[in-house]
Amino acid sequence: MGVFSFLKQVYHLDTLDTRFTSSSSVPYKSVIESRGDPAAQRADAAAKAQSRTQLSKWNTPEFYLYYVVIILAVPYMFWIAYNVSRPSDPRYHKFEKFLSDGWIPGRKIDVSDSQYSMFRETLPYMAALLTLHPLLRRVWNAVWPVNAKKPLVSAHMEQRLSFDYAFAFVFLFALHGVSALKVFGILYANYQVATKLPRRYVPAATWIFNIGTLFANEIFNGYPLRKAAGLLSPPVLAGAGLNAVDSPLMEWGTWLDSFGGVVARWEILFNITVLRLISFNLDYYWSRDKNQAGIFETASKTPKKKQLDPANLSEKDRIAIPADVNDYSFRNYVAYAIYAPLYLTGPIMTFNDYISQAKYRPSSIEKPRTIRYGVRFLLVLLAMEVILHYDYVGAISKASPVWSDYTAAQLSLLSFFNLHLIWLKLLLPWRLARLWALVDGIDPPENMTRCVSNNYSTQQFWRAWHRSYSRWLVRYLFVPLGGSSFRNWRAIARSIITYICVFTFVALWHDIQLRLLIWGWLIVLFMLPEFAAAALFPKRKWESRPTEYRMLCCFGAVFNVLMMITANVVGFAVGLDGLESIIRSILHDWSGFLFLVTACSALFVGIQVMFEIRETEKRQGITLRC
């Protein structure tokens, strides 16, 4: 296999996640078996041919024009960001202090972002864990082999989850030191909510407890023991001046706080665990529905909804079908909530899915695909490092710049690249965590479906960005709140309220800050034009004029992209002040207006390419809905 053929496989959607290229309702084992079946392949080819709603446009004069625009625009965008990052720029001295020595000769690197800096520093340790953790599992399996007296499935799950449970304690105490006790305390309290309260109270109590935990963690800064000791034994007066000094109990609390582990501020990373706690409680709540009982039984006087092979479930069934009642034990709950590969960053799995995969290793985990996924991670890491050596957008933002000193083009592209760096810094830990899980025999969903630049729909963007979180929101919040419907004005109003509730939770879950609340509400506001346009210009009325409809959609998508950039710039990049400066620079003179027209034209071209990428996927039988 040549290098280009290998890279083509590396960047195939199937390498990223088999969920993208096969139906969630079809067991992946069936997909594997169909590879060598000519009849199945012919049927698959026929299905793909039927999906070809439009002929390919890649070799048309229209797209040749787009290629010229892309060849000119993309390097120019990089040049603008690079140009304001050079030492010759008059503002360089303001942000130079945020730069570090780089590994590319003659270049410094911008690692001013605390999240990426922490990831970069801990990467060698994470790589060591990725190797050591599966090896320790093998040692565990050798020392405590499968109990031959038990059914093979139960024995295999017992062996696997016992290791995950034991490793959770070691991992958590190494990570958070004495604060691990606080984490276990919250886990225990949440488990009591799920298992001790009357069933009808569990959903409301679960949400109240976990949202309350988010606020309490933020307000009390992770509950330092020194402050807790101060409530029981306040400071005492001592010395000639009778100054207040810590009591002996407070000093002991300070001493305990010093054992903070590798990550002392455990509360910062706990938000992701909250999602798993809610997942366990609600999966357990739904499992107690009598209609779900006996779903795998093959013979019964009462007809069952499905007769399924538990060893060969589709992803959809792994999530929807409850685990056995005995599987909702405290041990399994802790093993799931503190599962080491996914504990820090996700991706997020439901409890039902985790238990199903613990019983039966997913067919989607294949060694060649896992290797290609690892190569893809390394290439993303290389791209991030190279960009940070040449574009210092993070350092510029950190230096409290006078935004009015920058032109409209510079301001806009600094913000644009800032969003890309945010995407990359989130993508890298998610990919590394998923790679670790794949090596360990668990297949969580891929979090990032597309590049942040490859999105034109606000609604579809949220299916592609932090995908496992989006799916979690749909299952545990959006659908229970009633979902969305646009059949009448009352349904529309209810749907808007649902979206506001969902994105308010999303904002608070990220961080309890006003700017993130504004970001969440802006997302909902900017969804409304898209919903209105879809209602006013339904696709079925334009079936005889596909080109005109494509152009109309593209004009609307340009507006959509501008709105999405605006919301994310406010929430994660330059804030309201920076956005105000961008708008002022654009409206200040004709050069700013000319830049806006040029930028919109470039976006128009890019969106046409996005449309065709999705049409190409449809011709291959792939529909991602994002």
pLDDT single digits (tens) 192-224: 999 999 999 999 999 999 999 999 999 999 999
The answer to whether the beta carbons of residues 410 and 80 sit under 8 Å apart is: yes
| Contacts (Cβ under 8 Å, ≥6 apart) of 118 | none
Distance CA 264, CA 179 (A): 8
For 622, how many CA atoms within 13 A lie in the half-sphere containing its CB?
17
Residue 35, pLDDT score? 65
The letter for the amino acid at 588 is: H
The answer to whether the beta carbons of residues 431 and 375 sit under 8 Å apart is: no
Task: Report residue 96 CA to chain centroid gap.
Answer: 32
Q: Return the active site residues.
A: 510
The answer to whether the beta carbons of residues 229 and 247 sit under 8 Å apart is: yes
Q: Which residues of the chain have pLDDT under 50?
A: 42, 46, 49, 293-305
The answer to whether the beta carbons of residues 554 and 608 sit under 8 Å apart is: yes
Nearest-Å Rg of the Cα atoms of the chain is: 27
Distance CA 315, CA 287 (A): 17
Distance CA 58, CA 55 (A): 9
Q: Nearest 5 degrees, angle CA 193-CA 206-CA 294?
A: 75
Distance CA 59, CA 19 (A): 30
Nearest-10 crossing angle of helices 61-83, 590-619: 130
The answer to whether the beta carbons of residues 600 and 558 sit under 8 Å apart is: yes
Closest Cα partner for 346 from 282, 278, 283, 276?
276
Residue 521, pLDDT score? 83
Indicate yes or no: pTM above 0.85. Answer: yes
Question: CB atoms < 10 A from the CB of 548, how many?
Answer: 10
The letter for the amino acid at 46 is: A
| Contacts (Cβ under 8 Å, ≥6 apart) of 502 | 473, 477, 478, 481
